[in-house]
Amino acid sequence: MKVYELERVIASLKEELAGVVNHPYILKFIERPEIDEDKLMLLYFMLNEQKIEQKDQYILPIMLVQIALDTHDTVSQVNLINEQAYKNQQLTVLAGDYYSSLYYYFLSQINDIKMIRVLAGAIQEINEKKMNYHHDQNQSIDEIIEQVSIIESGLLQKVAKHFNLSLWQNVCKEYLLARKLVLERNRLLQKEASIFLGKVENVHHTLEKLKPSLTNNLVNELDGRIQKCLVKLDNLLIDQLSSVREMLKKKASVQSN
Q: For residue 74, what is the DSSP state?
A: T
Task: Report the pLDDT averaged over residues 104-129.
Answer: 90
Both 153 and 228 in a single domain? Answer: yes
On the question of pLDDT at 42 being above 90, the answer is yes
**Is 134 among the domain residues?**
no
Q: Which of 59, 92, 111 is where one domain is finished?
A: 111
CB atoms within 10 A of CB 172: 27
Both 150 and 97 in a single domain? Answer: no
**Is 132 among the domain residues?**
no
Both 102 and 143 in a single domain? Answer: no
Both 196 and 90 in a single domain? Answer: no
Per-residue pLDDT band at 254 (split at 50, 70, 90) = low
Task: Report the pLDDT averaged over residues 239-251.
Answer: 75
CA distance readout (Å), 82 to 79, 85, 86: 9, 5, 6
On the question of pLDDT at 77 being above 90, the answer is no
Cα of first residue to Cα of last residue in the chain, in angstroms, is 27
**Is 119 among the domain residues?**
no
**Is 227 among the domain residues?**
yes
More confident residue, 97 or 227: 227
**Is 204 among the domain residues?**
yes
Mapped onto helix, strand or coil, the DSSP state of residue 119 is helix
Both 105 and 172 in a single domain? Answer: no
On the question of pLDDT at 84 being above 90, the answer is no
On the question of pLDDT at 49 being above 60, the answer is yes
Both 3 and 97 in a single domain? Answer: yes
Both 60 and 144 in a single domain? Answer: no
Per-residue pLDDT band at 243 (split at 50, 70, 90) = confident
Per-residue pLDDT band at 213 (split at 50, 70, 90) = low
Both 95 and 145 in a single domain? Answer: no
Both 99 and 149 in a single domain? Answer: no
**Is 225 among the domain residues?**
yes
* CB-based contact 164:178 (threshold 8 Å): no
Both 104 and 15 in a single domain? Answer: yes
Per-residue pLDDT band at 22 (split at 50, 70, 90) = confident
Taking only the tens place, the pLDDT of each residue in 135-189 is 888 888 999 999 999 999 999 999 999 999 999 999 999 999 999 999 999 999 9
**Is 121 among the domain residues?**
no
More confident residue, 240 or 18: 18
- Dihedral over Cα of 138, 140, 143, 145: its sign: positive
Best-predicted range by mean pLDDT (7-21, 25-39, 49-63, 154-168): 154-168
Q: The pTM is what?
A: 0.87
**Is 152 among the domain residues?**
yes
Both 208 and 249 in a single domain? Answer: yes
Return the closest-CA partner of residue 195 out of 144, 251, 125: 144
More confident residue, 79 or 173: 173
**Average pLDDT value over all residues in the chain:** 84
Instruction: Say how many CA atoms lie within 13 Å of 220 toward its Cβ.
Output: 6
Distance between CA 10 and CA 2 in Å, rounded? 13
Both 221 and 155 in a single domain? Answer: yes
Count structural domains, the chain. 2
> What residues make up the domain containing 198?
139-256
Per-residue model confidence (pLDDT) at position 214? 67
